[in-house]
Every structure is written in C-alpha cells, then in structure tokens.
Homo-oligomer: A and B are copies of this chain.
Amino acid sequence: MKIKSQKLSKNEKVVLEVVKKSNGPIKAYTILSDVKKNGLKAPPQVYRALDKLIKKGKIHRIESKNAYLDCQNSKCKTSSRTAFSICQKCEKVTEIINTKLSKFLSNFKDDAGKEYQKYNLEFYGICKKCKS
C-alpha cells in the first residue's frame, strides 16, 4: 500500500492555516474571503486546496453542512473513516475518536458479507453547553 505524500503546497498551507484557526467548521467561501490577503482570489484555488487537504487527511468535510474542519485525530492518516458529533443548536462539531466505534464500523459486514474501507458517520444532538 503506497503511502501518500503528506507534503503540502503553498496554497494548501495557506488554506489549512485558515481552517485550523477557525473555531469550528468553516465554509469554502469564508475561507476564500480570508485568504484574499494571501493573494488567493478565486474559488478554484480554495476548492483545489481543500480537496487535496482532505485526501491528505489534514481536514474533513462535514457533508451535512458543506463545511470543512481540521482533523482533530492524530491517528487520522487518511480521511477514509470519519465520525462526527454535530450540535443541532450551536452547530458545534467535534470529531469522534473512539476505538470501539471505529473497530465496529471497520469490521461491519453488510448482509451480503461485504466490508467497507471507507465511511462517514454524522451524529446529531444537543451539546452539553446548549443543554445547560
């Protein structure tokens, strides 16, 4: 199994910094307006960087929010198996890092006996802060 290079290009670095310093999931066009000071001007520059960063396991896409979040899991070498907790009130998102869960899903066989190399799981609820 070939290991994908984790080296980042100039634009990838710029975009990753913005995603990292955002407090939670950030949208592509929010990133774009932010990176304009770094000389990036057009959507494709941002989307390309996002796509690469996802492939390199540096960030994840929160599908139900069209937003991007930096990986909070040191073990996340790739983006192939992800799980998130999403607050329906404040929109806070955290990556779930749970061995029992990832083992269960990685080993899961469907009724045809098929296993899956890749999954994305999004849990929805109300976070602790919003409950109190």
A-side interface residues toward B, CB under 8 Å?
A: 63-64, 85, 88, 96, 98, 101, 104-105, 108, 110-112, 114-125, 128
Contact = CB atoms under 8 A, between A and B. Distances in A.
Contact of A125 (B85, B88, B117, B122): B117
A116 B108 contact: no
A50 to B, nearest CB: 15
Contacts of A120: 64, 121-122, 124
Contacts of A88: 118
B112 A118 contact: no
A108 B110 CA distance: 19
Nearest to A94: B110
Taking each of A88, A111, A122, A123, which has the highest tally of chain B beta carbons within 10 Å of its own beta carbon?
A: A123
Nearest to A114: B125
Contacts of A110: 85, 96, 98, 123
